[in-house]
Amino acid sequence: MYNTKNFKQSEFACKCGCGFGLKDGDIDTGLIDIAQKIRDYVGVPVRVNSGCRCVSHNARVGGVKGSWHTKGKACDLSCEKGGKALFEAVKALWQKGEIPGLRYCIYYKKGNFVHIDVGNERRNLWEVRA
């Protein structure tokens, strides 16, 4: 189990209860490190809305097929300051060079959360969705 100051690996496990995310190697620990940096930056508790997802849970919650969530390389985060504050935090950390492993960050306005992943390199790192 990989734990940081404010996060337990189990918080990133699949919400369906299948156990995906609980074993060593299920999740990219770099993702948890990024979550911790974001937590330190915003200074308030950060909730893992969704981390690892088994294929069936991913389909149930409407995730795209082959989502990085199914590979232990993505999570969705929220906090009382709102998704916008998290998005700004991720941008600031990226600009400071503190989270070089980040590959994608989406701010979901309506859902008020951010998705981050450490999957493949993308042309556009930042995205805002309704």
Cβ at position 106, least distance to Zn ion in Å: 7
Q: Is 63 left (phi over 0), alpha (psi -120 to 50) or beta?
A: beta
Q: Which residue has the tokens 């299920």?
A: 26
| Nearest distance, CB of residue 4 and Zn ion, angstroms | 20
Catalog residues that contact Zn ion under the rule CB under 5 A.
14, 16, 18, 54, 57, 76, 115
Residue 31, both tokens: 């993702």
The encoded tokens of residue 91 equal: 């941008």
Q: How far is the CB of 25 from Zn ion (least distance, A)?
A: 16
Q: For Zn ion, give the closer residue by CB, 16 or 98.
A: 16
Cβ closer to Zn ion: 62 or 97? Answer: 62
Write down the residue that tokens 């337990």 correspond to.
Answer: 8
Least separation in angstroms between residue 108's CB and Zn ion is: 8
> Can you list the positions of beta strands (E) in the chain?
46-50, 74-79, 104-108, 113-117, 126-129
- Comparing CB distances to Zn ion, the nearer of 97 and 120 is 120
